[in-house]
Structure 1
């Protein structure tokens, strides 16, 4: 699940790199891609909270990540594009770094 979170967040970073708010607001494909990756990140954290609550508790803002997923999936009519944009362009790097540290601590995956 941590790998899924890392993959989704780094994809979001790649999607929005070099983009402006105006680019994001005008591009339904970009918005859809970012939202989908947030959904994946939130689902991964929802599962992790159930399967390994101790590790999930070490993920910064885990409850907000799951909450965003819930809004995107269940409250789709209420999605605030500016909130999604600010989250995508905000402090994802610190989340990426925290997840990378957790993965490094866990060691390589067992085949």
Structure 2
């Protein structure tokens, strides 16, 4: 469980980093800034890798989080690096990460 909390902190830090990158940025500005896209993709990869390292018991104990989708996104980003769809990256960051962040914060708070 202790290691799981460390991985959750890595996930949270990566989400917060993405929030910093995308603060006051619209989709057009995002897609035109390769450095921002690459940095965001890297943080999503870290989120996926940290998620993949969470214990299976931990994952089964938190069905509110779709761990499989997070890991699949990481695998997609790693293996499709020449063809990353910026719209999918943007939508993931804007629609999925806020809920993930809430769940992670709740779990971390509960396990202090």
Give the root-mean-square deviation of aligned CA atoms: 1.3
- Match of 1:24? 30
CA distance in 2, matches of 1:77, 1:32: 11
Shift of residue 104, structure 1, vs aligned partner: 1.3
In the alignment, structure 2 segments of 5+ residues that lack a partner are 1-6
CA distance in 1, matches of 2:40, 2:68: 19
TM-score by length of 1: 0.87
TM-score by length of 2: 0.86
Shift of residue 36, structure 1, vs aligned partner: 0.4
Q: 2:45 aligns with which of 23, 39, 42?
A: 39
Matches within 5 A, 1:96-111: 96-107=101-112
Shift of residue 20, structure 1, vs aligned partner: 0.7
Matches within 5 A, 1:6-85: 6-48=12-54, 52-57=55-60, 58=62, 60-85=65-90
- Match of 1:90? 95
In the alignment, structure 1 segments of 5+ residues that lack a partner are none
Aligned residues: 104
CA distance in 2, matches of 1:56, 1:66: 12
Q: Is the 8 A contact 1:13 1:92 kept in 2?
A: no
